[in-house]
């Protein structure tokens, strides 16, 4: 059983839409290592799921989406532990979220600072409360964003604006975040989750394969996971070819394959593979 003081991350799936729920409202949903571990477990399950088409990140409470990393937790760590455990774990988990094959939406119904903004930056789309503020505020406590913010924020708002946010540690309001392209949608605080669910429902109604391949192609075009995207598309194309069917059949029957270079014939090929 999880320790309530450490917080947790819940997972709920309904109608093809998964909700990852940050649940530590007493501490403004500030991240602990326990929460990161739970989030990583859920991402493993989502990656394997054939039913989930869209993932939404929500949070408990009414004031703040997430205040970021729990300062009281990481201030007890040595410099080596900060590098080997805290920073590396958060970076790994948020990268895993960013690489999730399903599209992701952050439903930010409150302020998001530090790691709270960084988890939103790791999502594909962001819906923000119209009275909320967001910022990477780490310089105010003598450190730097460590969970992908220094990479993902400039990609969204440009280097100069990212530097302004990071150098000053000053949050920006929702109107500015929308104007700069940091968020994709703005809604009244009470309507943020519903707005994210409505957007998710539209995406979930589209072809999941086309959506997921589009996500991978867009990310690859931005320089994210280019090798993985090319290998995935090449594997999918070769896997649909007659040569692949022939190669598998020849392997099973211990004979030399007779490759033709054909890209494949229309219709199901399962029976041929099972010969």
Instruction: Give the C-alpha distances (Å, rounded to integers) separating 275 from 62, 246, 252.
Output: 59, 10, 9
Residue with tokens 């989502």, as numbered in its chain = 46
Give CA–CA dist 41/106, Å, rounded.
18
Last residue of a domain, one of 172, 206, 240: 206
Please indicate, yes or no, whether residues 31 and 104 belong to a single structural domain of this protein.
yes
3-class DSSP assignment, residue 118: helix
Residue 138 among the catalytic residues: yes
CATH of the domain at 231: 1.10.12
Instruction: Give the C-alpha distances (Å, rounded to integers) separating 87 from 44, 111, 112, 258, 271.
Output: 20, 22, 19, 52, 49
Q: What is the pLDDT of residue 84?
A: 72
Q: Which is the catalytic residue, given 47, 118, 231, 246?
A: 118
Please indicate, yes or no, whether residues 243 and 267 belong to a single structural domain of this protein.
yes
Residue 118 among the catalytic residues: yes
Give CA–CA dist 260/241, Å, rounded.
10
Please indicate, yes or no, whether residues 35 and 82 belong to a single structural domain of this protein.
yes
Last residue of a domain, one of 155, 179, 206: 206
Domain of 108 in residue numbering reads as: 4-206
Q: Which is the catalytic residue, given 6, 14, 40, 138?
A: 138
Give CA–CA dist 8/23, Å, rounded.
5
Q: How far is CA 28 from the centre of its chain?
A: 21
Please indicate, yes or no, whether residues 126 and 217 belong to a single structural domain of this protein.
no
Please indicate, yes or no, whether residues 34 and 133 belong to a single structural domain of this protein.
yes
CATH of the domain at 160: 3.90.226.10
Please tell me the total count of domains within the chain: 2
**pTM of the predicted structure, to 2 decimals:** 0.85
Please indicate, yes or no, whether residues 186 and 219 belong to a single structural domain of this protein.
no
Closest alpha carbon to 94 in 137, 54, 150, 16: 150
Interstrand relation of 8-14 and 54-59 (parallel, antiparallel or unpaired): unpaired
Q: How far is CA 41 from the centre of its chain?
A: 14
What the block records as the tokens of 111 is: 């302020």
Please indicate, yes or no, whether residues 168 and 244 belong to a single structural domain of this protein.
no
- pLDDT tens-digit profile, the chain (275 residues): 557 789 999 999 999 999 999 999 999 999 999 999 999 999 999 999 999 999 999 999 988 999 998 887 766 766 666 667 778 899 999 999 999 999 999 999 999 999 999 999 999 999 999 999 999 999 988 888 989 999 999 999 999 999 999 999 999 999 999 999 999 999 999 999 999 999 999 999 999 999 999 999 898 887 765 555 555 565 666 667 787 777 778 878 888 888 787 666 655 544 444 44
Torsion, CA 275, CA 231, CA 210, CA 221, rounded to 10: -170
Last residue of a domain, one of 206, 238, 258: 206
Backbone angles phi, psi at 104, to 5 degrees: -125, 145
- Residue 157 belongs to what H/E stretch? helix 149-157
């Amino acid at each position: 059983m999880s320790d309530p003081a450490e917080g947790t991350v819940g997972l709920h799936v309904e109608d093809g839409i998964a909700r990852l729920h940050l649940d530590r409202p007493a501490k403004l949903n500030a991240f602990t290592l326990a929460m990161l571990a739970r989030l990583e477990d859920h991402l493993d399950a989502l990656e394997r799921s054939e039913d989930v088409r869209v993932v939404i990140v929500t949070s408990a409470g009414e004031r703040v989406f997430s205040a970021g990393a729990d300062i009281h937790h990481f201030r007890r760590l040595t410099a080596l532990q900060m590098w080997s455990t805290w920073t590396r774990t958060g970076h790994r988990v948020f990268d895993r979220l960013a690489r999730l094959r399903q599209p992701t939406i952050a439903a930010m119904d409150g302020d998001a600072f530090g790691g709270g903004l960084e988890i939103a930056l790791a999502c594909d789309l962001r819906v923000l409360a119209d009275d909320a503020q967001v910022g990477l505020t780490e310089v105010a406590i003598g450190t730097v964003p460590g969970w992908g913010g220094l990479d993902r924020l400039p990609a969204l708002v440009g280097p100069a604006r990212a530097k302004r946010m990071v150098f000053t540690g000053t949050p920006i309001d929702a109107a500015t975040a929308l104007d700069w392209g940091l968020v994709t949608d703005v809604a009244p605080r009470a309507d943020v989750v519903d707005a994210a669910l409505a957007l998710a429902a539209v995406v979930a109604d589209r072809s999941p394969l086309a959506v997921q391949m589009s996500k991978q192609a867009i990310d690859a075009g931005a320089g994210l996971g280019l090798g993985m995207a090319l290998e995935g598309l090449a594997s999918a194309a070769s896997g649909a070819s007659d040569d692949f069917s022939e190669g598998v059949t020849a392997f099973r029957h211990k004979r030399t394959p007779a490759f033709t270079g054909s890209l494949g014939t229309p219709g199901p090929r399962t029976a041929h593979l099972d010969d």
